[in-house]
Structures are given as C-alpha cells and as structure tokens.
Structure 1
C-alpha cells in the first residue's frame, strides 16, 4: 500500500469517528455526493466511509481508488475522474478517446500535459492544472514527461498525485463546513 491509499484510509477512519461523535460534515458530503445517506450513521462501517472518500477523490468506489492510486491499474482500465474537477468544465481542453492520438497531439502542444480521465484522455494547460490543484511548473512534470498516462506509477506520477489528492480534501473545497449534531 502506498501513501495515497493510506491517506484515503486515514480520511475514512477520521470521517467515521467524527460521524459517530455527531459531526454532520461527513453526512452532508454523503448527501451531496450520493444524493442520500447510505444508512443511519450509527450503522456505518469503515466501508461506507472508504466509498465516500473514494467518490470525493473522483472514483466510482473504494476498489477503483485502491487499484488506481496503488499503481495496480492496467492499460484500458477506467482511471476515474481523479485528474478532473468541476472547475475544469468551463476550460478549453483537448479530449481524446485514444491514447495514441492524445500522445501525438501532446508532442506538438508546448506547455500542455496529458492526463487520464476514465477511459479517455485530456491534453490540458496550466489553467486546468490550477483548477485541479496541481502546480504546472513542478519538477515531477519534468520527470513524468508531461504525460501522466505514460508515467503512471512512477515517482513523478506519485508526487503529482499527492498534490492532486491534497486538493481533494473536503477542507479545501470552498463552501464545505463541518457542523455538529446537537442533542
């Protein structure tokens, strides 16, 4: 298990403990993300919180998050929306269904990066990276060759994924507050 998977597990454990103490922040996030609360909080288990933190990081569930962030995904797997954020929707980026086409486009696109999105690929600029919370001028980009598909699982990819995961923390999302349930 790498540090990214460990971070999500820690978030899930902290969220479960907070929910059991009466903190409704996790409940509100579950409603916002799922449209409902899976069951009464008293019945929640760690698996509920693992799913929630995986969803918040851009994955369909815990198993997908564990495989992708753990470096176990293979070519053709759904890589989730980890490298995407709602703030990116209004930005002009180049989307591709095939890696070869995206990689060829990247070769002629100075200052852009190639990122996975589910089973597709996006070639984006620094504005996109800023929206997902990843610095565009970071040293790991040079090590990754500005292609996070080809660099998947490398130390450069891991360093950039760490930046991205940090940006997915609930505390970093504007408008999210933690409240306590009052007896």
Structure 2
C-alpha cells in the first residue's frame, strides 16, 4: 500500500508551496498549530504541512497517518484508528446510520450500502457519499461485501483513499 501515501505526501508538498506563496487559507490553517512569523515565510517546513494533512485526516500526527497508509497500524487496544480520512463534514447530510460497534454496522450493511470506518466507529452510507469526499471512481467492492474495513489494507482501499488526497490537492490549485 503506497498509492494513498504518495498522494498524502504530494498534498503536503502542495500545501507547503501554497503557504510559501502566501495562500491565506493555508497559512490560517497552519496557524492553528504553529506560531508563524509573518515576515519569514521561509521558516515553513514540509513537516508542518504533513502535520496539517494528518490533522485534516482526523489523526494525531504525520506518523500516525503514515502508519495507517502503510498498513502498520495498531494502537494499544488492538483496533485500527482510521481517523476521518474517509469523511468530510459535507457528508453529514448523508449519514443516518452510525455505529460504535463494527458488528452492528455489519448487520446494517446491505448490498446497496457501504460500511465506512471513522476513527474507532463505523458508518453505513449510500454510494453518493463518496462523491462528497472526492472519490469519483468507485471500484467493485463486492469481494469485500461493500465493507471498507474488510478492504483495509488492500489495493482497493489504497486507491480509494488516494482519491481523497488527490481531491484535496486539486482544491488548492
């Protein structure tokens, strides 16, 4: 699994370029986590933008995002924290099934819905949900029973998540 990680890195580099070009939106987002000297934009570092990408993905830091996208994750409870990589507040209007238990979410899953992880919780959504997070090319998920938790860490999952980072990067341009 390296496709999504490649695009997360590319997003961080684009954020750095935009910040160094005085993109007010990117600088404002960075200032939530860092004290930036207005007169010295060269103090901006790639690791700052990587941190921003991780925070936007609902994770603690770049290391945690890197581990998720490299399929090296396991917290002390033995459960994967998927962050909010596969979620956006724009999707909230599509949500009507939210579960704290993976087993409950699986029981609610139908052949016309998808099980999507959110941190340590789960959502069951319809297909139009994915357009809101930047996924335009939905692969066949029937081999995973439309369950993105089961799909982790496959190439299918990797390519889906990569589309999210590509969409975020294209919004910056």
* TM interval, short-chain normalised: 0.7 to 0.9
Partner in structure 2 of residue 87 of structure 1: 90
Alpha-carbon spacing, 1:148–1:38, altered in 2? closer, same or farther (3 Å) = farther
What is the CA deviation profile of residues 133-174 of structure 1, one whole-angstrom value per residue up to 9, with x for unaligned ones? 224x733423433101111011221222222222222x32xx
Paired residues, number: 167
Return structure 1 stretches of 4+ with deviation > 6 angstroms: none
Q: 2:79, 2:31 → 1: CA distance? A: 26
Residue 64 (structure 2) pairs with residue 64 (structure 1) = yes
Is there any run of 5+ residues in structure 2 with no aligned partner, and where? none
- For residues 144 and 166 of structure 2, the distance between their equivalents in structure 1, rounded to whole angstroms, comes to 19
CA contact (8 A) 2:30 2:49 kept: no
Q: Which runs of 5 or more residues in structure 1 are unaligned?
A: 179-183
Pick closer, same or farther for the CA change 1:15–1:113 going to 2, 3 Å.
Answer: same
Alignment of 1:14-53 (within 5 A): 14-20=14-20, 23-25=21-23, 28-32=25-29, 35=32, 37-40=34-37, 41-53=41-53
For residues 18-167 of structure 1, the aligned pairs below 5 Å read 18-20=18-20, 23-25=21-23, 28-32=25-29, 35=32, 37-40=34-37, 41-74=41-74, 75-106=78-109, 109-135=110-136, 138-167=138-167
Q: What is the aligned partner in structure 2 of residue 181 from structure 1? A: none
Shift of 1:17: 4.3
User: What is the TM-score of this pair, normalised by structure 2?
Assistant: 0.81
